[in-house]
Amino acid sequence: MTSTLNPMQRVLILGSKPDAIIPSFDHAYCANAAASYYQGELSHRGGKTYSVVASGQITKRERRPNNKKLQHYDEKTTRILESRNDGVILILPPDKSSAKRKIKEGISVVEVTERERERILRNISGLDEPVGPCRLTEAPITVSTLYIYTKLLQNAFQAIGKERRPPAAFRASTGIFSLAYAILQHGTQSEYIISGIGLSDRENYKDKSFKQKRKIPRHSHADTHYLSALSARFNIRTTEEEIYQRTGIPLF
């Protein structure tokens, strides 16, 4: 799934935050179920639409058959699989999954492993870690404590030849990976518009029917640092006031 590097192509990065503004675009990269929620608006703005999907979003029934939230998972899976897409970028865990078999026949699927995902984020953003020791002084004590605990645990696993995935607080969201992946495809001559992605209150997203406030928000700290780094390198604007306030990315 490659694109010609035409000058000033507009690339939309879309999440499922309510009331997202959908400008005209040449290409849209939609995180998880966002393409389903904004299908009508996307179809009237032109361009090609791709969904960037963490495979766990569509295999939770298999992995957690007794989970009380199965109805929510089933609805979200249906939305993802029935979205109108020109292609799907599927993020796979190290042990692969059955997720690809669920994608509609005829839709182009690009598989990205977790390790490739982290490599793309690192290469495009220039950050080895989105939340590292040099940034801990900027973070709340709860985040600093979790970071230290995570590092100790990762070192313990490495000592026995295993890897441990960091918690969500120190990983980019699918929305921010969608931005990095889009940049990889469309290069420095394109402009990137972020819409429907926030850095707080993510329990209110359209695809979060089970609202749950967390002491340490999932992805929020990592996303903030990634966005700041990416905006220093590429032509990025946003429709989201919160992103402008916290990262300085200009408003669209």
Separation between Cα atoms, residue 90 and residue 28, nearest integer Å = 15
Summarised one tens digit per residue, pLDDT across range 134-173 is 455 555 666 666 666 566 666 676 677 776 666 667 788 9
Token reading at 53: 């999907």
How many residues are given for the chain? 252
The amino acid occupying position 152 is L
| Predicted TM-score (pTM) above 0.95 | no
Summarised one tens digit per residue, pLDDT across range 215-239 is 556 777 889 889 999 999 999 999 9
Summarised one tens digit per residue, pLDDT across range 75-95 is 777 777 777 788 899 888 755
